[in-house]
Amino acid sequence: MSSLRRPLLTNHNRCWIWGRNVVLETLRANRWPVMELLHSDRCEPSARDEAVAIAADRGLNVVSVRDSEITKNCRSEDHQGLAARMPPFPYWDVTTLLKALPPNPALVLLDRIQDSHNFGAIVRSAEVLGIDGVIVGIHEQASVNSQVARSSAGAVNYVPIAESNDLEATVRDLRNCGFQIVGASDHAEQPIFETDFRQATLVLIGNEGRGIQPILQALCTQFVQIPMLGRVNSLNAAVSAGILFYEILRQRRQ
């Protein structure tokens, strides 16, 4: 498979996100522009009123419809009576992201994360735990779609997500700029607690089944592992990322 890029969710050329929290966060952030807002009687009144007020203030098309109409557009019944038609997600440019970073930033690069729920959960943890930006590739990488937006609880609107068409070149450039390149690996000997994350850091999280691709492994300055005691002896990508991000936050707050 050369690429997982595909539309958010199409129905007569429309792309939709749905659910109270993700729609409201998207409207509040005003980063990913909403094209049209649909609401039904099922929508909780305070959420509906806020969404409609924001949309009206921006001159967006707001339509009150039957609940079944939203279900038809979203192909899902868990929309809570609120949905928004969206354009493609506005990724950051890597160069623009780097110019906006604070001193000694912490970034994460996702290498071919294909599960939308994992992707969204990683973005959610990144936003909550103070990661300064997320970098993804364009091949074999889940795009920011409705599932990613929902599993991130709307965090896709707040943490910068940059898209690179050459992950190797991006990692090499960051290494040349002084970033330590930290690969997460079950086979590493160094635990995360013995790694200094207070300097400029790029953490690499690899594909759910294959890990970090060799061409990127060769650019890592070190590899770290999360100590585990159980018999299963493995964590999925999203859980591992959350633990790593928390250790970065813990060290930087000391």
Predicted confidence at residue 221, as pLDDT, reads: 97
CA distance 230 to 234: 9
Q: For 46-63, what is the mean pLDDT? A: 96
pLDDT bracket for residue 9 (50, 70, 90): very low
CA angle, 232 then 238 then 241, to 5°: 95
Q: For 136-152, what is the mean pLDDT? A: 94
CA distance 254 to 197: 12
Say if residue 13's pLDDT is above 60: no
Print burial letters for 223-250: b (CB count within 10 Å at least 16), e (below 16): bbbbeeeeeeeebebbebbbbbbebbbe
In the sheet that holds 61-64, the strands lie side by side as 16-18, 82-85, 36-39, 61-64
**Phi/psi zone of residue 86: left (φ > 0), alpha (ψ -120 to 50 degrees), beta?**
beta
Predicted confidence at residue 234, as pLDDT, reads: 75
SS3 77: coil
Average pLDDT of the chain, as a whole number: 92
Longest dimension (CA), the chain: 57
Do the beta carbons of residue 19 and residue 80 sit within 8 Å?
yes
pLDDT bracket for residue 231 (50, 70, 90): confident
Separation in Å, CA 24 to CA 36, 60, 148, 176, 210: 13, 14, 15, 40, 36
Which tokens hold the place of 74? 């979203």
What 8-state DSSP symbol labels residue 211? Answer: B
Q: Which domains does the chain have, with CATH numbers?
A: 16-85 (3.30.1330.30), 92-253 (3.40.1280.10)
The residue whose two tokens read 């160069």 is 95
Which tokens hold the place of 242? 């959350």
Do the beta carbons of residue 15 and residue 22 sit within 8 Å?
no
Do the beta carbons of residue 202 and residue 182 sit within 8 Å?
yes
Higher-confidence residue of 1 and 99: namely 99
What 8-state DSSP symbol labels residue 150? Answer: H
Angle between helices 45-57 and 20-29 (to 10 degrees): 30
CA distance 128 to 91: 19
Q: For 80-102, what is the mean pLDDT? A: 96
Predicted confidence at residue 232, as pLDDT, reads: 74
Distance of CA 34 to the CA centre of its chain: 18
Q: For 20-25, what is the mean pLDDT? A: 96
pLDDT bracket for residue 235 (50, 70, 90): confident
CA distance 95 to 97: 5
Do the beta carbons of residue 148 and residue 168 sit within 8 Å?
no
Say if residue 143's pLDDT is above 80: yes
Number of other residues whose CB lies within 10 A of the CB of residue 8:
20
